[in-house]
Every structure is written in C-alpha cells, then in structure tokens.
C-alpha cells in the first residue's frame, strides 16, 4: 500500500510558473482529501481562541505553552514565528492543537539578546524562519528524533545563521532578532512579493532560486494557504535577495555589470524534485498535538509532514546542498563568528 505522503506528492497539480529575476514559483493544486477542518495560528490569535505563553514565570527557551480555547483545531506551522514574551521564537515542527487542549510546543529562539518583556504571552508575526535555516533545523530535528525522540534543534547554529544573514544583508538588530532582518530589507522584499500571487485552487508552492529547486510547501486547505502564503513566500524571497546581493558584490569586485539573465522555469526538474521527496524513507513519530509527525531524509532532500486521520495537512521538503550537512565540512560562511550572541541571560530569573 502506497504511503499517504506519496499519494499527496504524486497527486500534486502544477500551475503556470511565475518568474521574477532568479526566483521561480510553481503554484500547486490538489484534489485529495484536505482532512479535518482547522484554522491557522494567525487566525486563532486574531480571534482570541489561542493563547501562547511562556511555560511559567521563569520561562524556558526551547518551550512554550499553547492553549486552544476555540471549537476548531489550530495549525501551527514548522518555522512560523511568535513574537513577544521573553524573546521571539519559531516552531520546531508542525502541530495541530485540538480544541479545548493545552500542549507544550518545541521552539527555537530567533532573538538572541533579549530575555524579558512586559507580558508572558506571545503575539502573531508575519514571518517564517528563512528557508535555508528551516532546512537545517528540519535535519537537526530529524536526527534528534532518531536519537532521543526529541523535537529539539541546534540553538547555537540558528543564532549563528541569523547573525550571518544580518551581516550579509547589512542589517543591524539591537537584540539579534530575525524579524529585524525582514523589516530592514522590506523594500527589497516587496519587489519580489508583488511579482508572485496566489491562483485559484492553490494549496502549495514549489520554489526555484538560481535555477535550482529549493523548497516545496503544501497546505491541505486553500483557505489556510491564503493566510500563510505571504509568510512562506517571504522565507524564500529573503534567500533570493541574499543571493542577489552576493552576486552584485562579486560583480562589483570584478568590475563586471550586473547579470540580468532571466531564469527559465523547468517543469521536469520540479517533477524530479517531487520524486526525490517521494523516494525518501519515512519515519513516524507521535505528534505533539494531533496525528503523526512523519520525517524524511534522503541524499538530496529533507522533509516533514503532519498526517492526521489519514490526510496530510502540511508537508515541506527542502533541497540539501551537497547532501547532508552531517557529511560535509563547514564552509567559510558557516564559521562566521557569533559576534552578537550572549548566553548568560537565558537562564536568569526575573
């Protein structure tokens, strides 16, 4: 019997590609069962049916408490940011929180130099962890689940990657916050965001950057993707902008003109990426909330999916450069000094 995730992967319908500079987006549709009805994190926070807070007055960096006070399940997306409380965090895995329940959710900090705030409650954010960081974090969680059944990520590496991206994009942040990078480059991002749009029936996207497929996202409900589209899109656009800056700097050093070569969409490579995802071995773990967290790790891709009652509510697969990071040496960028990271404050009591 074919795995549920493969039915969803191979049942995807690709729409006409949208192109801007070196970024290509293939809209994805699907006629498969969307599973149980649910609302998104942002909707629930706006409606006041979800409360996310520190686990206690002292707080715990890798944990938050989520309480669903509404009548529908709430989808919290892997990499989705929550702002406020003692520091900003992102989800380490996708979770569906059942109505009338509370769960402790695994998170990572994306604001290294703050551990205080006027309230213990978190607020909505318009950001998702930048896609390359999501890829790394997903592999870290995969390996931690294999070793100790933990949805934990490498906190130091996340801080280091945020510092590196801020350095590349020339953004200063008093607290080392990921959100400051998005806001500092808002004007650059807007040009891309205006070039890509949702189409009728869209439930996902497959993104190419620099001619290569880098990420696949699928949300089972069209209404949910409408609330998540801009967040997910920005996480890829930030990488496209970073690549653009890198090329401009290299061209300036060599005295060359900016490369204006248009990247052509490649449906065959999109389909090959889907097949690479479908060929990964699957490992299943009970989710923090409803359903099962399904994890995938191949030679070229890493992925995760949330399966509930036989339906895939969310899946994400990311390309890994030169295979698994655990099998390659750090490049010069990955040894970037952690200039703005302090750790002592993290475990101080108020």
**Phi/psi of residue 193, each to 5°?**
-60, -35
Segments forming the whole domain that contains residue 31? 4-251+266-320
Residue 45 has pLDDT above 70, yes or no: yes
- Tell me how many degrees the CA angle 217-218-222 measures, rounded to the nearest 5: 130
pLDDT for residue 25: 97
Pairwise CA distance, residues 188 & 237, whole Å:
9
Residue 261 lies in a domain: no
**Which is nearest to 26 in space by CA: 306, 313, 264?**
264
- Asked whether residue 132 is domain-assigned, the answer is yes
Q: Which of 125, 109, 29, 140 is nearest to 77 (CA)?
A: 125
Q: Which of 23-27, 100-104, 150-154, 256-260 has the lowest mean pLDDT?
A: 256-260
Question: Residue 251 has what pLDDT?
Answer: 62
pTM over the 0.85 mark: yes
Number of domains in the chain: 1
Is the pLDDT at 328 greater than 60? The verdict is no
Q: Sheet holding 80-84: strands in order across?
A: 50-53, 63-68, 102-109, 89-91, 80-84, 122-128
Give the residues across from 309 on adjacent strands: none
% of the chain exceeding 70 in pLDDT: 87
- pLDDT score of 1: 64
Please say whether the beta carbons of 45 and 84 come within 8 A: no
C-alpha separations of 69 from 44, 57, 77, 101, 237 in Å: 9, 21, 18, 7, 34
Range 130-136 average pLDDT: 96
Query: Closest Cα partner for 12 from 214, 218, 307, 197?
Result: 218
Is 335 among the domain residues?
no
Tell how strand 301-308 and strand 292-297 pair up.
antiparallel
In-domain check, residue 165: yes
- Residue 337: pLDDT band (50, 70, 90) is very low
Residue indicated by tokens 């030679």: 299
| Residue 257 clears pLDDT 90, i.e. is over it | no
pLDDT tens per residue, range 165-216: 999 999 999 999 999 999 999 999 999 999 999 999 999 999 999 999 999 9
Assigned domain for 78 exists: yes
| Res 264: pLDDT | 75
What distance in Å separates the CA atoms of residue 194 and residue 200, rounded to the nearest whole number? 17
Instruction: Report yes or no on 110 lying in a domain.
Output: yes
Give a yes or no: residue 331 inside a domain. Answer: no
326 pLDDT more than 50: no
- Using CA atoms, how far apart are residues 68 and 102, in angstroms rounded to an integer? 6
Confidence of residue 247 (pLDDT cuts 50, 70, 90): confident
Distance from C-alpha of 27 to C-alpha of 334, rounded to nearest angstrom: 32
302 vs 346, more confident: 302
In a domain, 303, yes or no: yes
Statement: residue 74 has pLDDT above 60: yes
Three-class secondary structure of residue 148 per DSSP: helix
């Amino acid at each position: 019997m074919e795995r549920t995730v493969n039915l969803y992967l191979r049942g995807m319908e690709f729409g006409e590609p949208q192109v801007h500079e070196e970024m290509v987006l293939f809209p994805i549709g699907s006629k498969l069962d969307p599973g149980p009805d649910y609302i998104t994190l942002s909707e629930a926070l706006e409606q006041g049916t979800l409360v996310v807070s520190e686990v206690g007055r002292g707080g715990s960096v890798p944990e938050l408490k989520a309480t669903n006070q509404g009548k529908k399940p709430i989808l919290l997306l892997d990499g989705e940011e929550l702002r406020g409380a003692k520091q900003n965090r992102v989800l380490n895995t996708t979770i569906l929180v059942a109505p009338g329940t509370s769960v402790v959710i695994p998170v990572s900090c994306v604001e290294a130099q703050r551990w205080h705030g006027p309230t213990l409650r978190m607020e909505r954010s318009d950001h998702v962890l930048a896609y390359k960081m999501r890829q790394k974090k997903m592999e870290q969680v995969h390996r931690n689940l294999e070793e100790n059944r933990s949805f934990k990520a490498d906190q130091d590496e996340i801080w280091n990657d945020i510092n590196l991206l801020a350095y590349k994009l020339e953004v200063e942040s008093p607290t080392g916050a990921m959100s400051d990078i998005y806001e500092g480059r808002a004007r650059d991002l807007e040009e891309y965001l205006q070039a890509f749009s949702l189409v009728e029936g869209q439930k996902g996207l497959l993104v190419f950057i620099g001619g290569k497929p880098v990420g696949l996202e699928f949300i089972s409900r069209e209404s949910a993707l409408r609330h998540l589209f801009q967040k997910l899109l920005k996480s890829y656009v930030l990488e496209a902008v970073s690549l653009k800056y890198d090329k401009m700097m290299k061209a300036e050093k060599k005295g060359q003109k900016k490369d204006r070569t248009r990247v052509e969409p490649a449906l065959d490579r999109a389909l090959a990426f889907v097949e690479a995802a479908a060929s990964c071995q699957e490992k299943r773990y009970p989710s923090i909330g409803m359903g099962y967290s399904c994890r995938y790790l191949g030679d070229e891709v890493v992925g995760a999916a949330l399966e509930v009652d036989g339906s895939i509510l969310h899946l994400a697969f990311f390309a890994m450069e030169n295979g698994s990071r655990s099998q390659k040496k750090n490049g010069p960028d990955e040894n970037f000094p952690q200039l703005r990271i302090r750790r002592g404050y993290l475990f101080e009591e108020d």
